[in-house]
Structure formats: structure tokens, C-alpha cells
Homo-oligomer: A and B are copies of this chain.
Amino acid sequence: MAIANRRPRVVIIGAGFGGLEAARSLSRADVDITLIDRRNFHLFQPLLYQVATAALSPGDIAWPTRSIFRNQKNVTVLMCEVSGVDIQARTVTDGTAVIPYDFLILATGAAHSYFGHDEWSAFAPALKTVDNALTIRERLLLAFEQAELSSDPDAGARFMTTVIVGGGATGVEMAGAIAELDHRTLLGEFRHFEPAQARIILIEAGPRVLPSFPEHLSAIARASLKSMRVEVRTGVSVTDCDAQGVTLTGGEKLHAATIIWAAGVAASPAGEWIGAIRDRAGRVEVSPDLTVQDHPEIFVIGDAATVRDVDQHPVPGVAPAAKQMGRYVGRAIAARIRGRGAPAAFKYQNWGDLAAIGRKSAVVSLGRFRLTGLMGWLFWGAAHIWFLIGFRSRVVVAFSWWWSYLTFQRGARLISDRDRT
């Protein structure tokens, strides 16, 4: 690769787990890194469901990206929305500025897919952004306020019903947290109805919840949800979605004021920018070294890519996989700059799967090692605290959990006024 007498320029798009780790792993490399994101913060996505259910504030699980790289002087952080990539000229643009690169890392993540029904997103927000989480929080809390005001029993029943579409880790964690919010936190706070009557319905098209987990952990998760009075419906899909609720295969209609979408994956437009080969979900098909065909200078990592690792296993769309890819790509670039050869193909190290169900139960699968119930929850909690960034977040999140555990209360039960004025 012919680079003139200057430091190679690495442009990273996306400050999620993958992009952050790529920039970090280049901390000692003699490069100029530009890290671009449309937001000013890195978000700890695995706990976003706790923002949506009023347990944590957004600030507890988000950190300013430029604060993270304050002392890594080879990183420039820019907040802007990339609109295209010129792979011939090797530049990235947001429509105004033009940013040249020698190496490009696309770490742009994924959104939820509504399977061709994008109009459903207005009725059934997904849980990808802080904005999504605050919208869901608002709807969950507002539905109960409306139930208190309503004198119509049918409307009341609808206000007190929440449907969650998708039984993966996000759906299961949301269902457990909402059951706790409705049946425990809000107990005794209304005078015209009983929050304990609230219905939470989890819909999964496949035969079991947590499909990526070992089968007996799915069964345990389902039993835990049942004990929290979540109605789990498997083997049934959503065929329609509107302001009144959802329609299921077979025509059954569930009236619900709050619908949450936790199904399907649609990649970001990064694959389109570079005209790369993509799978049905829009993820870029990458080589074993995570580069794009014919473009050894372009890497795609995390949820934006569809990757089979050296053992031909598909790599799941989870935070540890994105981080491992980021680290791999950072090291690969550093090696190439130093004139070393191509590294061995990317190999995903699966440390395990975790999902929390409510405030004192979780299922954990680490190789042959399994934990469930309270022990599972303690492991889950410790692992999540460990991966938070900085002392402040660790203390605040740990304290919030401990306080919620003792009191059943939640620290951020605000209905924002922004949408409604």
C-alpha cells in the first residue's frame, strides 16, 4: 500500500462497541484516527432496557465519546452524520466536509427490521437508541396515567396491556423488567385500578424464547417469566400492528396501549455506501480478515457485517463479538503499517450468553458452565458492572440496583414533556 510521507489516516464510522475498541487498539500506532458518530456518546446498549423501564437514567450508561479519548491524542472525534463513501477517492462525507482515509472501518451497527412494514415503527418502537428507550418509558408510564383517568373498562384493559414482539434476550429482559414495574413498583399508587392486573404478553415466532441459548435454559427462562405473570406465546407471529394493538397469525387481536419491537435485524446503510455484497438483512459479506472484497483498506465489523469465523460458525450480533472484531481490525491495521503480513483469519471467542429476567433471576451459559436464578442474576450483575466505563457509572448503577432491590422503586420514572407540547 503506497502511503506518502505522512501518518496513515484511519477513519472509523460508529462509536459503538466495535468502533471504540478499534480506536483503542490503535492507541500506540503511528496513525491519525478520525472517529465519526452521529451522536456525541458511546452507549452501553445491553442495559438500555433498564432506561426504557425507568430503572436507570441515560447518563448512567452513556459516556461522551470525546471524553473517552481525551488522552489518546491520535484520535479526533467528530459528531456528524455520514452520508456516503467514495471508495475510488477514498473519502467519507457528511454532505459538507470531505474526510480522506487510508483505512476505513465501518462499525455502523444495525437497527431492528419490521419485515417490510416500516409503518409499524410508529406503533411499536424498537430498543436501539436512547430516544427509543425514552419513548418506550413514556408510553409505559403514560398508559397507566391514562388508565387512572379512564372510566371505560375496555380502554382501561388496553392501557394496562403491553405486548413485546420477539423472544430473544432483549424481549425477555424487557418482559421481566416491565412485569416488575407494573406488578411491584406501581403497586398501591393508583386509586381507580389495580396495577397488579396489568398484562404483559411476549410473542415469539419460533418454538422457544432465547433461541440462541441451550434448550433447557430457554425452559428455565420461560418458567421464570411465567412466575412473574408474563404470558409467553411461542410459535405465533405478528401480522399487523396499529394504534390499538397487534394482530397475530390466525387473526387473533391483542389490544395493547404499549407495543415494543424486539424482533429482526436490519443493517445500517454502510453496505450501500460502498456497494458491497450484502445478505438479506443488509449486512456486508466480509472476507475472513473482515475486509471487503477487492478493498483490503475497508473493514466492516460488528452488526454491520455478516461474519463466519475460522470454524465457519456465524458470529452472533452481540457486544463481545463487536469488540473482538474491533480489536482484531486495529491490530491488523497496525501490523500492515509496520509492513507485517496479513494476520490469521478472525476467530470469534464465545464467552457465553447471559439474560436477566427481572430483579433477581437470570440465565447464564458459559461453555459447559450454567447459572440460573439468584446466582445467575448476581453473575449477570457483576459482569455488566464490570463492563461499564468509569468509576461513576459503576457506583451509580450498582447503587441504583441495590436500592431497587430493597425498595422495588425505580429512579427515573419521568414522562418527558418534549413529545407532547
A194 at the interface (CB under 8 A from B): no
- Asked whether, in the complex, the Cβ of A392 is within 8 Å of the Cβ of B400, the reply is yes
Q: Shortest distance in angstroms between A63's beta carbon and chain B's nearest beta carbon?
A: 8
A129 at the interface (CB under 8 A from B): yes
A149-B97 contact, Cβ under 8 Å, with A141-B40, A400-B392, A418-B134:
yes
The smallest C-beta distance from A397 to any residue of chain B, in angstroms, reads 11
The answer on a CB contact under 8 Å between A189 and B409 is no
- Chain B residues closer than 8 Å to A67, beta-carbon distance: 189, 409, 413
The reply to whether B130 and A417 contact each other, CB–CB distance below 8 Å, is yes
User: Would B414 and A40 count as touching, CB distance under 8 A?
Assistant: yes
Interface residue ranges of A56-78 to B (CB < 8 Å): 57-60, 62-64, 66-67, 69-71, 76-78
**CB atoms of B79 and A41 under 8 A apart:** no
Contacts of A62 in B (CB 8 A): 414
State the CA gap A66–B413 with chains docked (Å). 11
B149 near A78 with CB under 8 A, answer yes
A407's nearest neighbour on chain B, judged by CB, is B392
CB–CB A59/B412 < 8 A: yes
Given contacts A414-B130, A416-B131, A418-B134, contact A191 B76 (CB under 8 A): yes
A206 contacts partner chain B, Cβ-Cβ < 8 Å = no
Please indicate the chain B residues that have their CB under 8 angstroms from the CB of A336 in the complex. Answer: none
Q: Given A59-B57, A189-B67, A399-B396, check contact A413 B41 (CB 8 Å).
A: yes
A351 close to chain B: CB less than 8 A = no
Q: Contacting A57 at CB < 8 Å: which of B66, B80, B407, B412? A: B412
* Complex: A421 Cα to B419 Cα, angstroms: 13
> Within the assembled complex, what's the spacing in Å between the Cα atoms of A148 and B407?
45
Contact assessment for A59 and B414 in the assembled complex, using a CB-CB cutoff below 8 Å: yes
> Which residues of chain B are within 8 angstroms of A192 by Cβ–Cβ distance?
76
A145 within 8 A of B: yes
Docked CA distance A414–B41 (Å): 6
Task: Output the nearest chain B residue to A66 by Cβ-Cβ distance.
Answer: B189
| A352 is an interface residue with CB less than 8 A from chain B | no
Provide the residues of chain B in CB contact with A58, threshold 8 Å. Answer: 57, 412, 414, 416
Number of copies of this kind of chain in the complex: 2
Q: Is the CB of A254 closer than 8 A to any CB of chain B?
A: no
A411 on the B face (CB < 8 A):
yes
Contacting residues, chain B, for A411 (C-beta < 8 A):
59-60, 392-393, 396
Within the assembled complex, what's the spacing in Å between the Cα atoms of A403 and B14? 29
Chain A 78-135 residues near chain B, CB threshold 8 A = 78-80, 97, 129-131, 134
With contact pairs A57-B58, A76-B191, A149-B97 given, residues A39 and B131 touching in the complex (Cβ less than 8 Å)? no
Assess whether A395 is interfacial by the CB under 8 Å rule.
yes
A415 within 8 A of B: yes
Asked whether any CB of chain B lies closer than 8 Å to the CB of A235, the reply is no
Identify the closest chain B residue to A64 (Cβ): B413
A54 to chain B, nearest CB (A): 8
Query: What chain B residues lie within 8 Å of A77 (beta carbons)?
Result: 148, 189
A129 lies within 8 A of B414 (CB) = no
Instruction: Say whether A188 faces chain B, with CB atoms less than 8 Å apart.
Output: yes
With A59-B414, A77-B189 given, can you name 8 additional A-B contacts, CB distance below 8 Å?
A: A38-B417, A40-B145, A41-B414, A66-B189, A69-B189, A129-B417, A130-B416, A396-B399
Which residues of A are at the interface with B, using a C-beta cutoff of 8 A? 38-41, 54, 57-60, 62-64, 66-67, 69-71, 76-80, 97, 129-131, 134, 141-142, 145, 148-149, 188-192, 391-393, 395-396, 399-400, 403, 407, 409, 411-419, 421
Of all A-B residue pairs in the complex, the 4 with the closest CB atoms, nearest first, are A59-B412, A57-B57, A79-B145, A57-B59
A-B contact pairs, 30 of them (CB 8 A): A39-B415, A39-B417, A40-B141, A40-B145, A40-B415, A54-B59, A57-B57, A58-B414, A59-B413, A59-B414, A60-B411, A62-B414, A66-B190, A67-B189, A69-B189, A70-B189, A76-B192, A78-B148, A79-B145, A79-B149, A79-B415, A97-B149, A129-B417, A391-B403, A392-B400, A392-B409, A392-B411, A393-B411, A396-B399, A418-B418
